[in-house]
Structure 1
Amino acid sequence: MEKTLRGDRALLRRVAALCGIEPRYEDGWGQRHDVNEETLEALLAALGYPAQSPNDLLDVLDDLCERACRAVVDPVQVVSEGIHPVVVGLTVPESLAYGRYRWHLRREDGSEAQGEGFLSAVSSVEDRGFLGKPCLRRLLYLWEPVACGYHDLEVHLHGPRGEVTARQRLIIVPRRAYLPEALRGDGKVWGITGQLYSVRSARNWGIGSFSDLNTLIDWAADLGASFVGINPLCLLFPEDPSKVSPYGPSSRRYLQPWYIDVEAVPEFAECEEVRRWCGQRDFQEACRAARDSSLVDYGRVWALQREALQRLFQHFCEHHLRRGSERARSFQGFVSQGGQDLEDYGVFHALDAHFRRINAAVWGWTLWPKAYQDKTSTAVRRFALEHRDAVTLHQYVAWIAREQLAACGHRSWERGLAVGIYGDLPVGVDPAGLDTWLDPHVYALNVRLGAPPDAFNPVGQEWGVCPMVPQRLRDEAYEPFVAMVRANMREFGALRIDHVMGLMRQFWIPAGKDARFGAYVRYPLEDLLGIVLLESERNQCLIVGEDLGTVPQRIREAMAERGLFGCRLCLFERSEDGSFPSPQDYPLYSMVSFATHDLPTLEGFWQGTDLRLRRRLQLYPSPQVRKGLARRRVADKKALRVLLRSWGHQEEPLCMSKERAAKEHCRAHSRAAALYRYLAACGSKLLAVSLEDLSGMTEQVNVPGTVHEHPNWRRKLPFPMKTLQNHPRVRAIVSAVDEHRP
């Protein structure tokens, strides 16, 4: 590195910029910071470009020039529908400049089109090439109609001095995202949001399940709500139930199995042996303890579920697979449709369990023996053959999870929810998880995503997840991105894209560093957004982009142009004088809510629970920040009092109980009803009412900056669903919402 620093800083910065690394960033106070050379070198290496010396940097430039002029066509092109003709850029080798061309288009529906001619007759375009390297460019016009979808274009160039064949994935995308009928015109709806794991019921085993999601769907339908929003359900680490953050998944394409309702699996009703095991005293006591706990005991819950699922799988093998039953054929269809990726899914988890049994400290595939880190190795293939039952077990569990979530999706449509289930897509994946093992070349394994420093986080945020590499995504014709997006829209009527700015740029931090040593890396916004639009339309899935915090204006412009909904938090919305804005000031294409899972609930905000917690955990960067936020809270509550008074809240509630606690409850219910009356009147088409606010919780779901200091992603709702459905606070809030969104 020292050689680079002394050799040519300007060259390093130039190469980094050409590779999509932005040379500076703004922190939470608006101050600009130049990215240091060590960071640029580390991020170039993560992109696949060694940069330890000036010669390395010159080699990178040569490689970029070579890449720009080598391919006859780009590996992928994303084009908006309605553009006619579709223009395909050709880079023609000099030896074939006066030869012939032939193209063949295979549309997604199987129909075909083709054409041919002389290259000398094709329109040329003046292009000095990359960094001035001359390239012969031609423009091929496809006049044939091409509908939205994924198509394959093949181009053949041939002449006396040779022949070249090139292929391009041509993706035609709609101009706007899908919009449900209920939201067209003046349509405005509301829904319930919450953490599925936090739901209490007499049926579950200590964690909210897919059956509890069905209960939420039925309840929402009875209340007149249009959607049920839940935390990400993405696959975590079954062999390590201590890793519970839904935003640090092992895979964004598969489901976490602890949401399975074991008793709803068809094999449970058939298998007397499993039912007898579940009836034993030890099981019942363990299940009761897990159910009664105020926090989800993931280790205990998953131990019970895993044992039951293994027993059900044995029954399934004996009574279905070996007999070729209809249910066995359904499972085999799931496995066939899942293809090689589902096979690798089963192998990965069988390997993970195998190495954990040998050494519990072996966490993640990056610590496995070298021979098993490559999914295509001989050792992995041999293991898969020798442990076929273990591989099939994990595929069976994946099938059950998808089957139960699909049933929830169907239930939402049967009950007439105008939107349906509202899912959540995390921004990255754990570097030691399934997705990175499946496609290690697509991910920057030595990088972590995060955010620059701000008032709450003076060294910034590092989220523990790694990103996809933009150029490698293009080389793969965006297939990993398509598969991930599609898997998260299948059963959902709406999808929240966490950190939607990531479609344009992501803040990369070299592993082992804090966010002060990070930099933004650019992504192909138009291409990735176009794919989101295509899958949105195909899956009839509304898109919400999490655009909170410092977001480039281009992102919000693109969201508005393409019909994506933004997020608006009442907690953060203010007029210039510090008051809360008029309801009409909220943008039409947005989802309004009081807060998020990373912020205090309404009651927690009002009581200052979050401020006291942060002080106790020593999360304030300085006493000045703590005192400033305390003063801000006093002013915020004053402004909120004024707002709530104008929306029906009375400081002295109508109920005249002599008991102070009862009076406080009445006051709190009235306050919550007034707040949601205001939010329901807002111009935003979507309103989210959180289960935390409906139940009057004071503790927030997740406290950023903590891992073990606070029970993040573990806290359950204070009441079981049956109690919550008839709670006076719920009736007050829903009645207030109904006044403006009946």
Structure 2
Amino acid sequence: MTDPFPDPASERLIQLAQANGVLVDYWDYHGRPASPSRETLVAVLAALGVPASTEEEIEQSLQQAELAPWRQVLPPTVVVRQGTAAPVTVHVPDGTPVRVEAVLDDGTHHPLTQTEDWTPARDVDGVLTGQATFVLPTDLPLGWHELVAWVGDGSTQARAALAIAPDHLDLPASLGERGWGVMAQLYSVRSAGSWGIGDADDLAELASFLGDEGADFLLINPLHAAEPVGPMTASPYLPVTRRFVNPIYIRPENILEVSRLAGPRRSLVQWELQDVEAANHSAEPIDRDAAWKAKSEALEVIFAAGRSRARQRDFERFRAEQGEGLERFALWSALTEKYGPLAQWPATLRDASSAYVANEARTLSDRIDYYAWLQWIVDEQLERAQAVAKASGMALGIMDDLAIGVHPRGADVWSDPESFAPGVRVGAPPDMYNQLGQNWSQPPWSPVRLAADAYRPLREMARTVMRHAGALRVDHVTGLFRLWWIPEGMRADAGAYVRYDHEAMVSVLLLEAHLADAVIIGEDLGTVEPWVRDYLSSRGVLGTGVLWFEKQDDGWPKQPEAYRSLQLATVNTHDLPPTAGYLAEEHVSLRERLGLLTEPVEQVRAEARLERDRMLTRLREHGLLGDNPSEREIVEALHRYVARTPARLVGVSLVDGVGERRAQNQPGTDLEYPNWCQPLADGTGEVVLVEDLPGNARMESLLAVVREALDRA
């Protein structure tokens, strides 16, 4: 590998990068060694709060990195697996007595045992400082607790968060040996009564139908909140917050207070529905702004009508439970409604903790109440959808999706800026399908701040997202291990990987999943180090397998028995066209039209045909396909093939069940393609509603194929 730092002094920059979790070499998607540039390393270190522009700064930063743990009595956060006698290092003035206890969430105290530690004392800022090591008891219960160190005579205390996490998550016994389900983009799944976009009522109806068909789960797109006023970002993977829900998924008529509205007020709600009802039957891209305008005006009427005493108390309990996070989000929403996008706000309001913002909060108290109420309502409706899913016989019910990050000018960044690394964005290095790399325009969490804050942003987000779900798919799960940071002003391929404390991150997620009785599925596609998959599997986190990506070293499709057991296996993914479109090479034609290819189109098309021909050959080897098959026969054969794998979960795309051909999303594009806006339609472009699914011959045939294949496996 070519050394990107020819100056010998730059070896110290490499050391500094490594000391701060920045990878100085990695393997690209061609399997070749690669390294970030010096400019990239300096910029990424700056985002971590580590100066490295000059040799003097590099030396000073190296010294700071070495002394940082010695300047703290206790680590800021200790995360351990249950049953582990984990060591805890303590730093105090040399010779000073110290004792440490674990204080559980029930108030009981459990002393830690001190063990031998012969680490030499060292000078830290003029104070000779010693290190002591204590060992946690192995019988501490799962949950969030606290460590307390009494220094000297006990008058000085140091405190740290303590998380005791599961070593491993087990799949629920109700799932049996294997399970299957359907994957859908909820916004695209509409009924005759929808408001131009799929919502929580459609979710419940779809889950009920699929549960009756024997499905164990329904995986949907992230429901994270978007802008409260238009234009609304279409991508569910670029939310303003991942903790709260987009109220566009509310079905207004299902709110309890509607039944008590006086005739004129109820008419206002009905009139708003009439403005967008016709859109349910259109195959044109979904107009979120029109749908939200109609819904929000109806919701304003319902909110203004008030609530009974009991309902008001329920609302207040919800607000108290969600705490400051909800109040900050509601305030951000009210300010956005008043001033527009964050870039248009007065400079005095950019700091969420300022007195100016506090004054605005008092002025906008009614609007804050409204936006908090929207979260309560959508929470109630999602709770019902999960209840319907479970009642229909689903083992898991709703499987939510967690995006990798948030909008750089959204609520999370405004209300909690210290949790994010400045001056960088998250993306992905070049791969086979995105040969220029990807910049997702999302700011990453600061790994340093996460540990200092007891992983509060992660646990609060996970806890809220899993409130009404039996499973959670974590998009780009390797983001718990490392993320591709791209300095602002640089190309997507000029980034660097930054490591996170994956043991702590995964443990926190598993603890929250345990508390929610949920299963975790990690989307581990693309360039993933093999040990990462092994680690996740050892913790009970399911991986993801997509048929088109599962290949042997010679390029041929993997044999079914070569698939991993602990994974969710599918034929396709939302970043590819539906299977019918993929077989017709739509993924090549679309990228050619959009100018996303870096190789000649003839070459890319030939590779796509070779991939398809090899897959069809493999299907015939297994007796799953005859001569001159129809499109439908091929699609069903592909699903039979996936069902023959040992994968514990098998997923079917709803679009494959109805014959859709259009892609929901083309990575690497923004306005060039109507991403995340395609309504559910069949191969002829005719809209398919929720009511049309029972009795849809193609849909029922595909579901029967998967159900029967799993029964025989």
TM-score normalised to structure 2 length: 0.93
Alignment correspondent of 1:148? 142
* Partner-residue secondary structure (3-state), 1:191: strand
The alpha-carbon deviation at position 108 of structure 1 amounts to 1.7
**Cα offset, 1:114, TM superposition:** 4.6
How big is the alpha-carbon RMSD for the aligned residues of Structure 1 and Structure 2? 2.4
Deviation at 1:415, TM superposition (A): 2.1
The DSSP-based 3-state class of the residue aligned with 2:235 is coil
* Partner Cα separation in structure 1 for residue 223 and residue 707 of structure 2: 30
Give the Å deviation of 1:488: 1.9
Name 1:103's counterpart in structure 2: 100
When structure 1 is superposed on structure 2, of 538-547 and 53-62 the one drifting more is 53-62
Cα gap change, 1:569 to 1:136, in 2 (>3 Å)? same
Q: What is the rounded CA distance, in whole Å, between the counterparts of 1:64 and 1:367 in structure 2?
A: 39
1:430-579 counterparts in 2 under 5 A? Answer: 430-575=407-552, 578-579=555-556
Partner of 2:694: 725
CA distance 1:140–1:609, change in 2 (3 Å): closer
The structure-2 alpha-carbon separation of the partners of 1:40 and 1:212, relative to structure 1 and needing over 3 Å to count, comes to same
Partner of 1:218: 208
Q: Specify every segment of 5 or more residues in structure 2 that has no aligned partner in the other structure, as ranges.
A: 682-687
Query: Which amino acid in structure 1 is aligned with residue 162 of structure 2?
Result: L
How far is 1:78 from its partner? 1.2
Is the Cα–Cα contact under 8 Å of residues 77 and 169 in structure 1 kept in the other structure?
yes
SS at 1:77's partner residue? strand
In 1, are the aligned partners of 2:142 and 2:163 still within 8 Å (CA)?
yes
Alignment partners' CA distance in 2, 1:644 and 1:155: 63
**Greater Cα offset, 9-18 or 677-686:** 9-18
AA aligned to 2:705 is: A
The aligned amino acid for 1:309 is L
Aligned residue number for residue 50 of structure 2: 49
Decide whether the 8 Å contact of 1:374 with 1:437 is kept in 2.
yes
- SS of 1:228's equivalent in the other structure is strand
Measure, in 2, the Cα distance between the counterparts of 1:722 and 1:612: 33
Deviations, residues 313-360 of structure 1 (Å, cap 9, x unaligned): 1112xx54xxxx10010001111112222111111111111112xxxx
What does residue 692 of structure 1 align with?
Answer: 655
How big is the shift at 1:367?
Answer: 4.9
Going from structure 1 to structure 2, the CA distance change for 1:286 and 1:79 (only over 3 Å counts) comes to closer
Quick check: 1:171 aligned with 2:155? no
Question: SS at 1:600's partner residue?
Answer: coil
Please list, as runs of the form range in 1=range in 2, the aligned pairs for 1:53-72 lying within 5 A after superposition.
53-72=54-73
Q: CA deviation at 1:6?
A: 8.5
Q: Residue 191 of structure 1 contacts residue 226 of structure 1 at CA under 8 Å; is this kept in 2?
A: yes
* Corresponding residue number in structure 2 for 1:30: 31
Alpha-carbon deviations, 1:213-244, whole Å to 9, x = none?
A: 00111011110010001001111212233411
Match of residue 91 from structure 1 = 91
Unaligned runs of 5+ in 1: 357-362, 654-666
1:740 to 689, 709, 713: 709
1:346-385 correspondence runs (5 A) = 346-356=330-340, 363-364=341-342, 367-385=344-362
Counterpart residue identity of residue 291, structure 2: V
Distance change >3 Å, CA 264–CA 17, structure 1 → 2: same
Question: C-alpha deviations, 1:615-656, integer Å up to 9, x for none?
Answer: 222221132xx2222112222232233344444444457xxx
TM-score, normalising length from structure 1?
A: 0.89
Q: How far, CA to CA, are the matches of 2:120 and 2:171 in structure 1?
A: 41
- 1:733 aligned partner, one-letter code: L
Mark the CA change 1:113 to 1:581 in structure 2 (over 3 Å): closer, same or farther: closer
SS at match of 2:441: coil
What does the per-residue CA deviation read over 1:415-466, in whole Å, with 9 as the maximum and x for residues that have no partner? 2211111111111111111111221011013211111123443431111111
Task: Say which of 322, 325, 330 aligns to 1:341.
Answer: 325
CA spacing shift, 1:157–1:684, aligned 2, 3 Å: same
Q: Distance in 2 between matches of 1:593 and 1:142?
A: 42
Residues 182 and 218, structure 2, Cα contact 8 Å, conserved in 1: yes
SS, match of residue 133 in structure 2:
strand
Are 2:385 and 1:408 aligned?
yes
1:595 alignment partner in structure 2: 572
Aligned counterparts of 1:26 and 1:581: Cα–Cα separation in 2: 23
Given that 2:149 and 2:158 are in contact with CA atoms closer than 8 Å, whether structure 1 keeps it comes out as yes
Partner of 1:78: 79
2:604 aligns with 629
C-alpha separation between the residues in 2 aligned to 1:30 and 1:115? 47
Cα distance in 2 between the residues matched to 1:202 and 1:130: 73
Which residue is 2:684 aligned to? Answer: none
Aligned residue in 1 for 2:131: 137
In structure 2, which of residues 117, 123, 126 is the aligned counterpart of residue 124 of structure 1?
Answer: 117
Q: Give the Cα–Cα distance (whole angstroms) in 2 for the partners of residues 638 and 61 of structure 1.
A: 55
Q: Counterpart of 1:22 in 2: which secondary structure? A: coil
Partner of 1:249: 239
Shift of 1:7: 11
List, as ranges, runs of 4+ consecutive aligned residues in structure 1 with deviation greater than 6 Å.
Answer: 4-7, 128-134
Aligned residues: 698
Distance of aligned partners of 1:129 and 1:513 in 2 relative to their CA distance in 1, 3 Å threshold: farther
The CA deviation at 1:730 is: 1.3
- Which residue of structure 2 aligns with residue 181 of structure 1? 173
Find the aligned partners of 2:280 and 2:397 in 1 and give their Cα distance. 30
| One-letter amino acid of the counterpart of residue 702, structure 2 | I
Aligned to 2:676: 713
For residues 162 and 650 of structure 2, the distance between their equivalents in structure 1, rounded to whole angstroms, comes to 37
Give the SS at the match of 1:557: helix
Q: Percent identity?
A: 33
Is this contact kept in 2: 1:346–1:395, CA < 8 A?
A: yes
Distance 1:87 1:130 in 2: 23
1:550-572 residue CA offsets vs partner (Å, 9 max, x unmatched): 10122111012111111111112
Amino acid at match of 1:70: R
Asked whether the equivalents of residues 84 and 138 of structure 2 are also in contact (C-alpha less than 8 Å), the reply is no
| Inter-partner Cα distance in structure 1 for 2:553 and 2:422 | 44
In structure 1, give the amino acid aligned to 2:117. S
Q: Give 1:527 deviation, angstroms.
A: 0.9
Moved more, 455-464 or 514-523: 455-464
Contact 1:175 1:562 in 2 (8 A): yes
Amino acid at match of 1:38: E
Contact 1:425–1:496 (Cα < 8 Å) also in 2: yes
> 1:242–1:194: structure 2 CA closer, same or farther, 3 Å change rule?
same
Distance in 1, matches of 2:120 and 2:189, equals 60
1:204/1:291 contact within 8 Å kept: no
What amino acid is aligned across from residue 324 of structure 2 in structure 1?
Q
Assess if the C-alpha contact under 8 Å between 1:677 and 1:739 holds in 2: no
3-state DSSP of counterpart to 1:153: strand
Equivalent-residue separation in structure 2 for 1:60 and 1:100 (angstroms):
31
Matched residue, 1:427: 404
Q: Which residue of 2 aligns with 1:263?
A: 253
